[in-house]
């Protein structure tokens, strides 16, 4: 089953309707909740969060830092979903995101892995249809391709 | 004449078609060109660009810093245009943009003024219809409203 860019965008945007960004407590929780899921299910990756390497989901839940970080990452996911059909804008946003993460010296394989984590989160706390998941993985594949291309062009470690 | 959110979005996105982001020289120039226009027509605002307070348009044109900065600001304009109909995502992106500018201690009046500068740039180097300009100013008005609300909520100087 092949999906058009527009179908992928519509499915991803739709999957985020229950995970809206915003300033209300519910919206803040939507972002913080991602990190609760992340830290519970992928504890080895906590190493990238200086000072929070041993945080439990309960620690994350109480953390203002992860309230803010949660909004930021959730917003990024909304942005990539909403601009996906504007391919050059999508790719420019990917490059900008990679540039901002340069200081963290991430394993380049994590750019693709993120979409497994993020769809895992969406599925864990709401409804994520198989089709929506497939749409996110298709978007993620293209996101990752531009990440690796940009890392290569920036003379940084990348996945071949 | 009143425009719907969708009309505003479509007009703004359309106006950026000739100012696409990207890695080709033409795309890099689209961003750098904004700062050439900005520094030429609003020289008093160069004070916010440390080390470039006396740059001429020619200096900007040769500057890698403004190639990068130009892409970033042009991308931001593409993003706000493309997500405008998704109101909560638009507003979240506005807040994130304000947060990132906190360190520059900007005059809060500049958030609205930006749209005069940006539409000036679009008009100076390509075709910007009166309707497209009106759409950008309508978008800008809403952008600015969320900026001032967020500045206020963050206990920072804001425009009443």
Task: Flag whether residue A100 sits within 8 Å of chain B, measured between CB atoms.
Answer: no
Q: What is the CA radius of gyration of chain A?
A: 15
Q: Decide if A37 contacts A124 (C-beta within 8 A).
A: yes
Q: Which residues 6+ apart lie within 8 Å of B36 measured at CB?
A: B57, B60, B61
The reply to whether residue A78 touches residue B86, judged by beta carbons under 8 angstroms, is yes
8 Å CB contact between B132 and B12: yes
Sequence spans of domains, chain A = 5-154
On chain B, the residues whose CB falls within 8 A of the CB of A95 are 23
Is the model's pLDDT at A160 over the cut of 90? Answer: no
**Tens digits of residue pLDDT in B45-71:** 999 999 999 999 999 999 999 999 999
In this complex, do B89 and A75 lie within 8 Å of one another by their Cβ atoms?
Answer: yes
Task: Quote the percentage of chain B above a pLDDT of 70.
Answer: 99
**Mean pLDDT, chain A, whole residue set:** 97
- Name the one residue in this structure whose structure tokens are 């990348």: A158
A22 inside 8 A of chain B by CB:
yes
Which pair of tokens denotes residue A34? 């991602």
Residues B91-127 have pLDDT tens digits of: 999 999 999 999 999 999 999 999 999 999 999 998 8
Closest CA to A30 of A78, A82, A88: A78
Instruction: Measure in Å the smallest separation between the Cα of A111 and chain B Cα atoms.
Output: 20
What span, in angstroms and rounded, lies between the C-alpha atoms of B117 and B37?
A: 8
Which distant-in-sequence residues (6+ apart) come within 8 Å of A158 by Cβ? A108, A147, A148, A149, A151, A152
pLDDT digits (tens, 9 = 90+) for A63-80: 999 999 999 999 999 999
As a whole number of angstroms, the distance between CA B112 and CA B158 comes to: 12
Across residues B72-95, what is the average pLDDT?
98
Q: How many CB pairs below 8 A link A and B? A: 61
Q: Structurally, what CATH architecture does the domain formed by B5-154 represent?
A: Orthogonal Bundle (1.10)
The pLDDT score that the predictor gives to residue A122 is 98
Q: Is A40 on the interface with B (CB under 8 A)?
A: no
pLDDT of residue B126: 82
List the 115-144 stretch of B: residues with Cβ below 8 A of A: none
pTM of the model: 0.97
Mutate to test the interface with B, among A22, A79, A85, A99 (most CBs of B within 10 A): A79
For A38-49, the DSSP string reads: HHHH-GGGGGGS
Residues B30, B31, B33, B37: is their CA dihedral positive or negative?
positive
């Amino acid at each position: 089953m092949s999906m058009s860019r527009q179908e992928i965008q519509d499915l991803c945007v739709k999957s985020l309707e229950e995970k809206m960004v915003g300033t209300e407590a519910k919206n803040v929780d939507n972002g913080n909740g991602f990190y609760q899921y992340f830290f519970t299910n992928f504890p080895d990756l906590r190493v990238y969060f200086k000072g929070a390497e041993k945080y439990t989901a309960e620690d994350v839940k109480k953390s203002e830092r992860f309230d803010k970080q949660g909004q930021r990452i959730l917003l990024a996911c909304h942005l990539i979903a909403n601009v996906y059909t504007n391919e050059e804008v999508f790719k420019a946003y990917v490059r900008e995101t990679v540039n901002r993460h340069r200081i963290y010296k991430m394993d380049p394989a994590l750019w693709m892995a993120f979409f497994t984590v993020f769809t895992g989160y969406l599925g864990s706390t709401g409804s994520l249809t198989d089709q929506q998941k497939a749409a996110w993985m298709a978007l993620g594949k293209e996101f990752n391709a531009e990440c690796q291309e940009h890392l290569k062009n920036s003379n940084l470690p990348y996945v071949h």
